[in-house]
Copies of this chain bind each other. A is one copy, B any other.
């Protein structure tokens, strides 16, 4: 099942977790706190423990082109994809970033909507514009919140060819499998697994829940 593990907290036993969950999850998403604490090269070191997985730098880039490219340049050698915010738009921002990432064979993933309650009042109001940005820069994937399955379903309808990654599963409240049923390709789980007493067992449990949910919604169709 399509599960990506989010690694954000530098205080966790990251090497142990990556080693143990390699082959169990499809990929690893490393977040800003981890990169800030350990430096960008730490991502390369972690990757060596599971080189075949999908590695995503969740930098949540949201800046002018030159700054985003300078950040990306520290990471393109060790990840398959980088996450940026669609809300910064194309000209002088994501357009140039996409060209840069293409030259380095790194995929661009754009956040189109966020998973927390406050997003509704600001960020998510721009969903239509954000989807248009994804089309214009031809991003490989999009981030849409598992906590809002109706948003995932809309993104699936409007961006049929794009890979959808859905965070918000677990601690934030979405049940494993709910976003997959709404059309997501991957669910992203962080604290639920990372903070479990036994992350390996917890990941297997999440995978089982994803499988059951997927069977149920396939049966409904």
Interface residues, chain A, CB within 8 Å of chain B? Answer: 8-10, 31-33, 35-40, 59-67, 70-71, 73-75, 85-95, 114-123, 125-126, 129-130, 133, 172, 191
Q: How close is A43's CB to chain B, nearest CB, in angstroms?
A: 9
A26 to B36, CA, bound (A): 25
From B31, B36, B93, give the contact of A116 (CB < 8 A): B93
Contact residue among B63, B64, B125 (Cβ-Cβ distance under 8 Å from A126): B125
Residues in B whose Cβ lies below 8 Å from that of A88: 114, 116, 118-119, 122-123
**Contact A118–B91 (Cβ < 8 Å):** yes
How many subunits of this chain does the assembly comprise? 2
Q: Is the CB of A70 within 8 A of B33?
A: yes
Main secondary structure of the interface of A (DSSP, over half): helix
Which B residues are in CB contact (< 8 Å) with A37? 39-40, 74
Residues on B with C-beta less than 8 A from A93 are: 114, 116, 118-119
Residues of B within 8 A of A95 (CB): 118
Given contacts A36-B40, A40-B36, A123-B89, contact A172 B64 (CB under 8 A): yes
Residue of B nearest to A111 (CB): B62
A101 smallest CB distance to B (angstroms): 15
